[in-house]
Amino acid sequence: MVITLLICASCVPLYFVVHALLLSPLRRIPGPFWARFTRLWKLLQIYQGSFEKTNIALHKKYGPIVRIAPNEYSIDDPDAVKEIYGQGSQFTKSPWYIASANPDPNIVKDLFSERDSKTHASNRRKVASLYSMSNLVQMEPFVNDCTKLLVGKFAKFAEQGRSVDMGHWLQCYAFDVIGNITFGQRFGFYPMGVVAV
């Protein structure tokens, strides 16, 4: 009995190896050898803080589609974006998107985190007109107003020879643009460079 259990237990990893190398329909997608069998390879790259550089190097070596984990692929092809994420796509969003959703089940999921294609399409129809080109053109003066202020702020920093935390100032810019478009007035983060959290 014990020997049978040991044999069965040793066959499980063997099955995964054979499947990854010979039976998987995605076996021909290139990538690091260990990425076929375990996520540990990717986790090590992330832990070392070099995954984004490694990912670029992998695409240079293997091409536009690279295996980075057993069922995970990195795609570096702008034409694939519409096919994968476009309206009517046959691809379902991965569970990765759940992390950005509101955990309260009574609140409707946003378009980004909604994984069900029918629900996504229904919710998208409700707000699609807001993102039409004619509406976006109407918002342009509000964006330009904030952009002029941001460019002026950066010009002052340049005159003073100061270094700038771009992430911080672009966050201020985003809040003021949103306030200007939504409420007709900026929140006023530029003068102080302060973002209330």
Encode pLDDT of 32-41 as tens digits: 988 888 889 8
pLDDT at 64 over 60: yes
Question: Mean pLDDT lowest for which of 12-16, 113-117, 128-132?
Answer: 12-16
Residue with tokens 């053109």, as numbered in its chain:
137
pLDDT at residue 5, as a whole number? 75
Residue with tokens 């076996």, as numbered in its chain:
27
Determine the average pLDDT of the residues in 44-65. 93
Encode pLDDT of 72-92 as tens digits: 889 999 888 888 888 778 888
pLDDT at residue 22, as a whole number? 65
pLDDT at residue 88, as a whole number? 79
- Facing residues of 73 across strands? 67
The predicted model scores a pTM of: 0.58
pLDDT tier for residue 159 given thresholds of 50, 70 and 90: very high
Q: How far is 85 from 97, CA to CA, in rounded Å?
A: 13
What percentage of the chain reaches a pLDDT higher than 70?
A: 88
Encode pLDDT of 104-118 as tens digits: 878 877 888 888 888
117 φ/ψ angles, rounded to the nearest 5 degrees: -65, -35
